[in-house]
Structure 1
Amino acid sequence: MRAPKTVRGAEAFGRVRLSASFFMRDFLHSEIADVCGIANLPDDPQLAIAAGTRLCGEILEPLQATFGRVAIRSAYRSAAVNAYGNAQGFNCASNERNYSRHIWDRRDAQGRMGAVACIALPWLVDRMAAGTPWQAMAWWIHDQLPYSGLQFFPKLGAFNIGWHEAPKRTIHSYAAPRGCLTKPGMANHGGSHAQLYLGFPTLAGQSSGAIRTA
Protein backbone atom coordinates (compact mmCIF):
# COMPACT_ATOMS: atom_id res chain seq x y z
CA MET A 1 0.00 0.00 0.00
CA ARG A 2 1.32 3.44 -0.94
CA ALA A 3 1.40 6.37 1.46
CA PRO A 4 -2.08 7.93 1.27
CA LYS A 5 -1.93 11.33 -0.44
CA THR A 6 -5.52 11.69 -1.70
CA VAL A 7 -8.99 11.48 -0.18
CA ARG A 8 -9.50 8.12 -1.90
CA GLY A 9 -6.17 6.89 -0.57
CA ALA A 10 -7.01 8.03 2.97
CA GLU A 11 -10.39 6.32 2.75
CA ALA A 12 -8.79 3.06 1.64
CA PHE A 13 -6.21 3.25 4.42
CA GLY A 14 -8.89 3.92 7.02
CA ARG A 15 -10.81 0.83 5.95
CA VAL A 16 -7.92 -1.50 6.83
CA ARG A 17 -9.09 -3.88 9.55
CA LEU A 18 -6.54 -4.34 12.31
CA SER A 19 -8.45 -6.86 14.42
CA ALA A 20 -11.95 -8.21 15.00
CA SER A 21 -13.22 -4.89 16.41
CA PHE A 22 -10.83 -2.19 15.22
CA PHE A 23 -10.14 -0.46 11.91
CA MET A 24 -7.28 1.92 11.15
CA ARG A 25 -9.68 4.85 10.94
CA ASP A 26 -10.42 4.43 14.68
CA PHE A 27 -6.86 5.57 15.45
CA LEU A 28 -6.42 8.54 13.09
CA HIS A 29 -8.30 11.29 14.94
CA SER A 30 -6.09 14.12 16.21
CA GLU A 31 -7.19 17.48 17.55
CA ILE A 32 -3.81 18.90 16.49
CA ALA A 33 -4.33 17.66 12.95
CA ASP A 34 -7.93 18.90 12.83
CA VAL A 35 -7.31 22.39 14.19
CA CYS A 36 -3.93 23.01 12.59
CA GLY A 37 -4.62 21.44 9.20
CA ILE A 38 -1.87 18.81 9.23
CA ALA A 39 -2.54 15.44 7.63
CA ASN A 40 -2.41 12.63 10.18
CA LEU A 41 -1.46 9.91 7.70
CA PRO A 42 1.61 7.65 7.54
CA ASP A 43 4.62 7.71 5.25
CA ASP A 44 4.91 3.93 5.70
CA PRO A 45 1.36 2.55 5.89
CA GLN A 46 2.47 -1.09 5.93
CA LEU A 47 4.56 -0.56 9.07
CA ALA A 48 1.73 1.35 10.74
CA ILE A 49 -0.65 -1.50 9.90
CA ALA A 50 1.76 -4.14 11.19
CA ALA A 51 2.33 -2.36 14.50
CA GLY A 52 -1.33 -1.46 14.91
CA THR A 53 -2.37 -5.03 14.27
CA ARG A 54 -0.21 -6.24 17.16
CA LEU A 55 -1.49 -3.48 19.47
CA CYS A 56 -5.11 -4.29 18.67
CA GLY A 57 -4.86 -8.06 18.66
CA GLU A 58 -2.69 -8.51 21.76
CA ILE A 59 -3.74 -5.55 23.91
CA LEU A 60 -6.95 -3.75 22.94
CA GLU A 61 -9.09 -6.74 21.96
CA PRO A 62 -8.50 -8.53 25.30
CA LEU A 63 -9.27 -5.29 27.17
CA GLN A 64 -12.51 -4.78 25.25
CA ALA A 65 -13.55 -8.41 25.62
CA THR A 66 -13.04 -8.14 29.38
CA PHE A 67 -14.17 -4.61 30.28
CA GLY A 68 -16.44 -3.54 27.42
CA ARG A 69 -15.93 -0.60 25.08
CA VAL A 70 -12.42 0.78 24.60
CA ALA A 71 -12.63 4.50 23.77
CA ILE A 72 -9.67 5.76 21.74
CA ARG A 73 -8.51 9.17 22.97
CA SER A 74 -5.30 9.56 20.93
CA ALA A 75 -3.31 6.98 19.03
CA TYR A 76 -1.43 7.18 15.73
CA ARG A 77 0.36 10.46 15.00
CA SER A 78 2.20 11.26 11.81
CA ALA A 79 5.73 12.55 12.26
CA ALA A 80 4.55 15.99 11.10
CA VAL A 81 1.66 16.10 13.59
CA ASN A 82 3.82 14.93 16.48
CA ALA A 83 6.64 17.36 15.67
CA TYR A 84 4.20 20.26 15.57
CA GLY A 85 2.61 19.17 18.85
CA ASN A 86 6.02 18.93 20.49
CA ALA A 87 7.11 22.36 19.23
CA GLN A 88 3.88 23.98 20.42
CA GLY A 89 3.88 22.38 23.87
CA PHE A 90 0.84 20.17 23.23
CA ASN A 91 2.04 17.32 25.47
CA CYS A 92 3.76 15.45 22.65
CA ALA A 93 7.20 13.98 23.27
CA SER A 94 9.87 14.48 20.62
CA ASN A 95 9.63 12.48 17.43
CA GLU A 96 12.66 10.42 18.42
CA ARG A 97 11.02 9.43 21.70
CA ASN A 98 7.73 8.66 19.95
CA TYR A 99 9.09 6.44 17.18
CA SER A 100 7.44 3.02 17.63
CA ARG A 101 5.11 4.63 20.16
CA HIS A 102 2.56 7.20 18.90
CA ILE A 103 4.42 7.33 15.58
CA TRP A 104 3.56 3.82 14.45
CA ASP A 105 5.20 4.09 11.03
CA ARG A 106 8.74 4.71 12.26
CA ARG A 107 10.95 2.17 14.00
CA ASP A 108 12.86 3.17 17.12
CA ALA A 109 16.62 3.66 17.28
CA GLN A 110 17.10 -0.11 17.67
CA GLY A 111 15.03 -0.84 14.56
CA ARG A 112 12.04 -2.22 16.46
CA MET A 113 8.38 -1.53 15.77
CA GLY A 114 5.68 -0.62 18.23
CA ALA A 115 2.44 1.27 18.70
CA VAL A 116 0.77 3.21 21.52
CA ALA A 117 -2.82 4.33 22.02
CA CYS A 118 -4.28 6.55 24.74
CA ILE A 119 -7.55 4.97 25.80
CA ALA A 120 -10.37 5.36 28.30
CA LEU A 121 -12.50 2.50 29.60
CA PRO A 122 -16.03 3.56 30.62
CA TRP A 123 -16.01 0.61 33.04
CA LEU A 124 -12.95 2.11 34.75
CA VAL A 125 -14.37 5.64 34.70
CA ASP A 126 -17.35 4.43 36.72
CA ARG A 127 -15.24 2.35 39.08
CA MET A 128 -12.85 5.23 39.77
CA ALA A 129 -15.80 7.52 40.52
CA ALA A 130 -16.76 4.99 43.19
CA GLY A 131 -13.26 5.01 44.68
CA THR A 132 -11.23 2.40 42.78
CA PRO A 133 -7.64 3.68 42.36
CA TRP A 134 -5.92 3.77 38.98
CA GLN A 135 -3.25 1.44 40.36
CA ALA A 136 -5.76 -1.43 40.41
CA MET A 137 -6.13 -1.28 36.63
CA ALA A 138 -2.39 -0.87 36.22
CA TRP A 139 -1.66 -4.03 38.18
CA TRP A 140 -4.41 -5.98 36.41
CA ILE A 141 -2.85 -5.13 33.04
CA HIS A 142 0.63 -5.87 34.36
CA ASP A 143 -0.43 -9.37 35.39
CA GLN A 144 -2.55 -10.16 32.34
CA LEU A 145 -1.30 -8.51 29.14
CA PRO A 146 1.97 -8.25 27.15
CA TYR A 147 2.11 -4.44 27.36
CA SER A 148 5.28 -2.43 26.91
CA GLY A 149 4.46 0.76 28.81
CA LEU A 150 1.59 2.35 30.73
CA GLN A 151 1.16 6.04 31.55
CA PHE A 152 -1.94 7.09 33.51
CA PHE A 153 -3.51 10.56 33.29
CA PRO A 154 -5.73 12.58 35.68
CA LYS A 155 -8.82 12.83 33.45
CA LEU A 156 -11.25 9.96 32.74
CA GLY A 157 -8.80 7.43 34.12
CA ALA A 158 -7.25 7.53 30.65
CA PHE A 159 -3.93 5.87 30.01
CA ASN A 160 -1.38 5.27 27.31
CA ILE A 161 -0.87 1.60 26.60
CA GLY A 162 1.65 0.25 24.15
CA TRP A 163 2.76 -2.88 22.37
CA HIS A 164 6.43 -3.17 21.37
CA GLU A 165 8.73 -5.83 19.96
CA ALA A 166 10.94 -5.42 23.03
CA PRO A 167 8.50 -4.54 25.83
CA LYS A 168 9.86 -2.39 28.65
CA ARG A 169 7.12 -3.33 31.17
CA THR A 170 7.10 0.04 32.92
CA ILE A 171 4.20 1.87 34.58
CA HIS A 172 4.21 5.62 35.25
CA SER A 173 1.48 8.07 36.22
CA TYR A 174 0.69 11.77 35.86
CA ALA A 175 -2.30 11.19 38.14
CA ALA A 176 -1.75 11.27 41.89
CA PRO A 177 0.38 9.74 43.18
CA ARG A 178 2.65 10.76 40.30
CA GLY A 179 5.76 8.86 39.35
CA CYS A 180 6.89 5.32 38.65
CA LEU A 181 4.69 2.51 39.94
CA THR A 182 6.95 -0.26 38.71
CA LYS A 183 9.73 -1.14 36.29
CA PRO A 184 12.08 -4.10 35.87
CA GLY A 185 14.37 -4.38 38.87
CA MET A 186 11.89 -3.00 41.38
CA ALA A 187 10.88 -5.38 44.18
CA ASN A 188 7.18 -5.09 43.26
CA HIS A 189 7.63 -5.97 39.58
CA GLY A 190 7.32 -9.76 39.58
CA GLY A 191 4.70 -12.23 40.75
CA SER A 192 0.95 -11.90 41.02
CA HIS A 193 -0.67 -8.69 42.25
CA ALA A 194 -4.21 -10.09 42.33
CA GLN A 195 -4.82 -8.79 45.85
CA LEU A 196 -4.55 -5.24 44.47
CA TYR A 197 -7.43 -5.57 42.00
CA LEU A 198 -10.01 -7.62 43.87
CA GLY A 199 -13.39 -7.58 42.16
CA PHE A 200 -11.93 -7.08 38.68
CA PRO A 201 -13.15 -9.49 36.00
CA THR A 202 -11.08 -12.40 34.81
CA LEU A 203 -9.32 -11.85 31.48
CA ALA A 204 -11.78 -12.95 28.82
CA GLY A 205 -10.93 -16.35 27.44
CA GLN A 206 -9.00 -17.51 30.51
CA SER A 207 -10.05 -19.46 33.56
CA SER A 208 -10.15 -17.68 36.90
CA GLY A 209 -6.85 -19.28 37.88
CA ALA A 210 -4.95 -18.22 34.78
CA ILE A 211 -2.72 -15.28 35.58
CA ARG A 212 0.03 -13.91 33.35
CA THR A 213 2.95 -12.78 35.49
CA ALA A 214 5.90 -10.62 34.52
Structure 2
Amino acid sequence: MRKPGSIKALEDLGRVRLSKSFFMRDFLYSEIANWHGIPNVPDDPGLAIAAGRKLCEELLEPLQDTFGRIAVRSAYRSCEVNGFGNANKLNCASNEANYAGHIWDRCNAAGCMGATACIVIPWFADRYEAGTPWQAMAWWIHDHLPYSELCFFPKLAAFNITWHETPARTIYSYAEPKGWLTKPGMPNHEGMRSGIRDFTL
Protein backbone atom coordinates (compact mmCIF):
# COMPACT_ATOMS: atom_id res chain seq x y z
CA MET A 1 0.00 0.00 0.00
CA ARG A 2 1.33 3.44 -0.95
CA LYS A 3 1.36 6.52 1.24
CA PRO A 4 -2.08 8.13 0.89
CA GLY A 5 -2.06 10.98 -1.61
CA SER A 6 -5.73 11.93 -1.45
CA ILE A 7 -8.64 12.12 0.99
CA LYS A 8 -10.09 8.94 -0.47
CA ALA A 9 -6.81 7.07 -0.02
CA LEU A 10 -6.58 8.30 3.58
CA GLU A 11 -10.16 7.20 4.19
CA ASP A 12 -9.30 3.78 2.80
CA LEU A 13 -6.32 3.54 5.13
CA GLY A 14 -8.50 4.52 8.08
CA ARG A 15 -10.93 1.71 7.21
CA VAL A 16 -8.24 -0.97 7.51
CA ARG A 17 -9.27 -3.28 10.33
CA LEU A 18 -6.41 -4.10 12.68
CA SER A 19 -8.35 -6.47 14.96
CA LYS A 20 -11.92 -7.30 15.92
CA SER A 21 -12.41 -3.95 17.70
CA PHE A 22 -9.87 -1.56 16.22
CA PHE A 23 -9.37 0.19 12.89
CA MET A 24 -6.36 2.14 11.68
CA ARG A 25 -8.31 5.39 11.98
CA ASP A 26 -8.50 4.90 15.77
CA PHE A 27 -4.75 5.48 15.99
CA LEU A 28 -4.13 8.39 13.59
CA TYR A 29 -5.44 11.30 15.69
CA SER A 30 -2.79 13.61 17.13
CA GLU A 31 -3.27 16.89 19.00
CA ILE A 32 0.11 18.06 17.68
CA ALA A 33 -0.87 17.25 14.10
CA ASN A 34 -4.32 18.79 14.54
CA TRP A 35 -3.15 22.01 16.15
CA HIS A 36 -0.16 22.63 13.89
CA GLY A 37 -1.67 21.33 10.65
CA ILE A 38 0.85 18.53 10.11
CA PRO A 39 -0.52 15.42 8.35
CA ASN A 40 -0.18 12.37 10.57
CA VAL A 41 0.05 9.87 7.71
CA PRO A 42 2.44 6.88 7.44
CA ASP A 43 5.06 6.83 4.70
CA ASP A 44 4.90 3.03 4.76
CA PRO A 45 1.27 2.09 5.47
CA GLY A 46 1.98 -1.63 5.06
CA LEU A 47 4.53 -1.65 7.88
CA ALA A 48 2.33 0.54 10.08
CA ILE A 49 -0.60 -1.84 9.55
CA ALA A 50 1.49 -4.93 10.28
CA ALA A 51 2.87 -3.48 13.52
CA GLY A 52 -0.51 -2.08 14.51
CA ARG A 53 -2.19 -5.43 14.06
CA LYS A 54 0.27 -7.05 16.45
CA LEU A 55 -0.30 -4.29 19.01
CA CYS A 56 -4.06 -4.66 18.75
CA GLU A 57 -4.36 -8.43 18.56
CA GLU A 58 -1.78 -9.35 21.20
CA LEU A 59 -2.15 -6.48 23.69
CA LEU A 60 -5.13 -4.15 23.25
CA GLU A 61 -7.79 -6.75 22.54
CA PRO A 62 -6.92 -8.87 25.60
CA LEU A 63 -6.92 -5.74 27.76
CA GLN A 64 -10.29 -4.65 26.41
CA ASP A 65 -11.74 -8.14 26.80
CA THR A 66 -10.69 -8.14 30.44
CA PHE A 67 -11.20 -4.56 31.63
CA GLY A 68 -13.66 -2.99 29.20
CA ARG A 69 -13.34 -0.14 26.74
CA ILE A 70 -9.92 1.30 25.94
CA ALA A 71 -9.51 5.01 25.14
CA VAL A 72 -6.57 5.77 22.85
CA ARG A 73 -4.75 8.96 23.92
CA SER A 74 -1.84 8.90 21.47
CA ALA A 75 -0.61 6.20 19.14
CA TYR A 76 0.84 6.39 15.64
CA ARG A 77 3.00 9.44 14.84
CA SER A 78 4.52 10.26 11.50
CA CYS A 79 8.20 11.18 11.49
CA GLU A 80 7.20 14.78 10.78
CA VAL A 81 4.74 14.98 13.66
CA ASN A 82 7.07 13.26 16.13
CA GLY A 83 10.06 15.31 15.01
CA PHE A 84 8.09 18.52 15.49
CA GLY A 85 6.97 17.36 18.92
CA ASN A 86 10.52 16.54 19.93
CA ALA A 87 11.95 19.83 18.66
CA ASN A 88 9.29 21.82 20.47
CA LYS A 89 9.43 19.88 23.77
CA LEU A 90 5.92 18.42 23.41
CA ASN A 91 6.64 15.16 25.23
CA CYS A 92 7.98 13.31 22.18
CA ALA A 93 11.29 11.45 22.21
CA SER A 94 13.57 11.72 19.18
CA ASN A 95 12.51 10.04 15.96
CA GLU A 96 15.30 7.48 16.30
CA ALA A 97 14.14 6.59 19.82
CA ASN A 98 10.56 6.26 18.59
CA TYR A 99 11.21 4.03 15.56
CA ALA A 100 9.19 0.83 16.20
CA GLY A 101 7.50 2.78 19.01
CA HIS A 102 5.14 5.65 18.29
CA ILE A 103 6.53 5.69 14.76
CA TRP A 104 5.00 2.43 13.55
CA ASP A 105 6.19 2.70 9.95
CA ARG A 106 9.92 2.63 10.69
CA CYS A 107 11.90 -0.33 11.98
CA ASN A 108 14.44 0.36 14.70
CA ALA A 109 18.19 0.24 14.26
CA ALA A 110 18.13 -3.56 14.65
CA GLY A 111 15.61 -3.90 11.82
CA CYS A 112 12.69 -4.85 14.10
CA MET A 113 9.14 -3.53 13.92
CA GLY A 114 6.99 -2.40 16.78
CA ALA A 115 4.12 -0.14 17.77
CA THR A 116 3.19 1.94 20.83
CA ALA A 117 -0.11 3.38 21.99
CA CYS A 118 -0.80 5.57 25.00
CA ILE A 119 -4.10 4.39 26.44
CA VAL A 120 -6.53 4.95 29.29
CA ILE A 121 -8.72 2.17 30.63
CA PRO A 122 -11.70 3.99 32.21
CA TRP A 123 -12.49 1.04 34.50
CA PHE A 124 -8.98 1.21 35.93
CA ALA A 125 -8.82 5.03 35.94
CA ASP A 126 -11.76 5.05 38.38
CA ARG A 127 -10.05 2.54 40.64
CA TYR A 128 -6.74 4.39 40.44
CA GLU A 129 -8.48 7.60 41.54
CA ALA A 130 -9.99 5.64 44.45
CA GLY A 131 -6.56 4.45 45.57
CA THR A 132 -5.68 1.32 43.58
CA PRO A 133 -1.96 1.58 42.75
CA TRP A 134 -0.84 1.76 39.13
CA GLN A 135 1.38 -1.25 39.87
CA ALA A 136 -1.72 -3.47 39.96
CA MET A 137 -2.31 -2.95 36.24
CA ALA A 138 1.40 -3.11 35.49
CA TRP A 139 1.83 -6.52 37.16
CA TRP A 140 -1.33 -7.90 35.57
CA ILE A 141 0.00 -7.04 32.12
CA HIS A 142 3.44 -8.38 33.01
CA ASP A 143 1.95 -11.69 34.11
CA HIS A 144 -0.53 -12.12 31.24
CA LEU A 145 0.52 -10.34 28.04
CA PRO A 146 3.52 -10.33 25.65
CA TYR A 147 4.25 -6.61 26.03
CA SER A 148 7.63 -5.03 25.33
CA GLU A 149 7.51 -1.79 27.32
CA LEU A 150 5.07 -0.13 29.72
CA CYS A 151 5.33 3.44 30.95
CA PHE A 152 2.77 4.83 33.40
CA PHE A 153 1.67 8.46 33.87
CA PRO A 154 -0.12 10.20 36.76
CA LYS A 155 -3.15 11.56 34.86
CA LEU A 156 -6.01 9.05 34.47
CA ALA A 157 -3.57 6.18 35.07
CA ALA A 158 -2.67 6.47 31.38
CA PHE A 159 0.16 4.32 30.13
CA ASN A 160 2.21 3.62 27.04
CA ILE A 161 2.07 0.01 25.94
CA THR A 162 4.41 -1.31 23.26
CA TRP A 163 4.41 -4.44 21.14
CA HIS A 164 7.81 -5.29 19.64
CA GLU A 165 9.36 -8.15 17.70
CA THR A 166 12.07 -8.45 20.37
CA PRO A 167 10.28 -7.50 23.60
CA ALA A 168 12.31 -5.72 26.26
CA ARG A 169 9.85 -6.49 29.09
CA THR A 170 10.44 -3.26 31.01
CA ILE A 171 8.07 -1.21 33.18
CA TYR A 172 8.77 2.42 34.11
CA SER A 173 6.59 5.06 35.76
CA TYR A 174 6.30 8.83 35.99
CA ALA A 175 3.54 8.31 38.55
CA GLU A 176 4.63 7.90 42.16
CA PRO A 177 6.66 5.94 43.02
CA LYS A 178 8.64 7.03 39.97
CA GLY A 179 11.25 4.89 38.30
CA TRP A 180 11.68 1.28 37.27
CA LEU A 181 9.15 -1.23 38.52
CA THR A 182 10.89 -4.08 36.74
CA LYS A 183 13.25 -4.91 33.91
CA PRO A 184 15.40 -7.91 33.04
CA GLY A 185 17.97 -8.52 35.76
CA MET A 186 15.86 -7.17 38.61
CA PRO A 187 14.95 -9.77 41.27
CA ASN A 188 11.21 -9.22 40.75
CA HIS A 189 11.23 -9.80 36.99
CA GLU A 190 10.38 -13.50 36.95
CA GLY A 191 7.34 -15.25 38.41
CA MET A 192 3.72 -14.32 39.02
CA ARG A 193 2.59 -11.59 41.42
CA SER A 194 0.04 -13.35 43.67
CA GLY A 195 -2.35 -11.00 45.45
CA ILE A 196 -1.96 -8.11 43.00
CA ARG A 197 -2.52 -9.64 39.57
CA ASP A 198 -6.02 -11.04 39.95
CA PHE A 199 -8.24 -7.96 39.73
CA THR A 200 -10.70 -8.14 36.85
CA LEU A 201 -14.22 -7.09 35.97
Please state which band the TM-score falls in when normalised by the shorter chain.
over 0.9
Query: Does 1:95 pair with 2:90?
Result: no
SS of the aligned residue for 2:150 comes to strand
Moved over 2 A (4+): none
Distance, in Å, in 2 between the alignment partners of 1:100 and 1:7 is 26
Task: Indicate whether 1:201 and 2:189 are aligned.
Answer: no
Alignment of 1:62-211 (within 5 A): 62-198=62-198, 200-201=199-200
Aligned to 1:116, what secondary structure does the other structure show? strand
1:170-192 CA distances to partner (integer Å, 9 max, x unpaired)?
Answer: 00001111101000000000001
1:196 Cα offset (Å): 2.2
In the other structure, the counterpart of 2:47 is: 47
Quote the sequence identity (%). Answer: 67
Q: Aligned with 2:157: secondary structure?
A: coil
Aligned to 2:175, the other structure's residue is in SS state coil
Q: Provide the alpha-carbon RMSD of the alignment.
A: 0.9
Q: Distance in 2 between matches of 1:165 and 1:48?
A: 14
Equivalent residues of 1:140, 1:194 under 8 A apart? no
Report the equivalent of 1:5.
Answer: 5
Take 1:148 and 1:106, find their aligned partners in 2: how far apart are those partners? 17
Normalising by structure 1, we get a TM-score of 0.92
CA contact (8 A) 1:151 1:161 kept: yes
Counterpart amino acid of residue 52 in structure 1: G
Could you tell me how far apart the structure 2 residues matched to 1:51 and 1:154 are?
Answer: 27
Report how far residue 197 of structure 1 moved: 3.4
Is 2:35 aligned against 1:35? yes
**Which one is further off, 74-83 or 122-131?**
122-131
CA contact under 8 A between 1:67 and 1:123: conserved in structure 2?
Answer: yes
The TM-score, its normalising length taken from structure 2, stands at 0.98
Q: Residue 32 of structure 1 aligns to which amino acid in structure 2?
A: I
User: For 1:159 and 1:5, how far apart are their aligned partners in 2?
Assistant: 33
Structure 2, unaligned stretches of length 5 or more?
none
